[in-house]
Amino acid sequence: MRVVLQRVSSASVVVDGNKVADIQKGLLVFVGIEDADTQEDIDWLAGKITKIRIFGDENDVMNCSVQDIKGEIIAVSQFTLHAGTKKGNRPSYIKASKPDVAIPLYESFVATLEKEFGNKIQTGIFGADMKISLLNDGPVTIIIDSKNRE
């Protein structure tokens, strides 16, 4: 499972002209799922996402987590995070899970993240054409892959 975290001052998701998610200060989390992902990957990522210290403290040092600042989170499924670009110029998405595998894992990810965070997580709509607006704060963008736990 691969996630891209963006520290945001604000973010929103619009589907078919309707705003389905809207936050102020917090994290916009893009989630890419592959067939090899398990609940263990989800548990590890949920803990990492909620505790990663990428928000400024009183001295503006990145020392606080999204929980510490009482921020908000939007999670958006994004199969393109598993794009293969090794061959040619057209990305391959062969590693990205199909909906029958990805949807249950994504739903488990959101539920686990909510439990770890202790608050409701807003989401996009799986498989929809989403328009995402964000004001990246920093900019701070972190990529985390549960298969490559550095």
Determine contact, residues 74/11, Cβ cutoff 8 Å.
yes
Give CA–CA dist 20/117, Å, rounded.
20
The two structure tokens encoding residue 92: 């391959």
Give CA–CA dist 1/31, Å, rounded.
7
Catalytic choice (50, 80, 85, 112): 80
80 given a catalytic annotation: yes
Instruction: Please list the active-site residues.
Output: 80
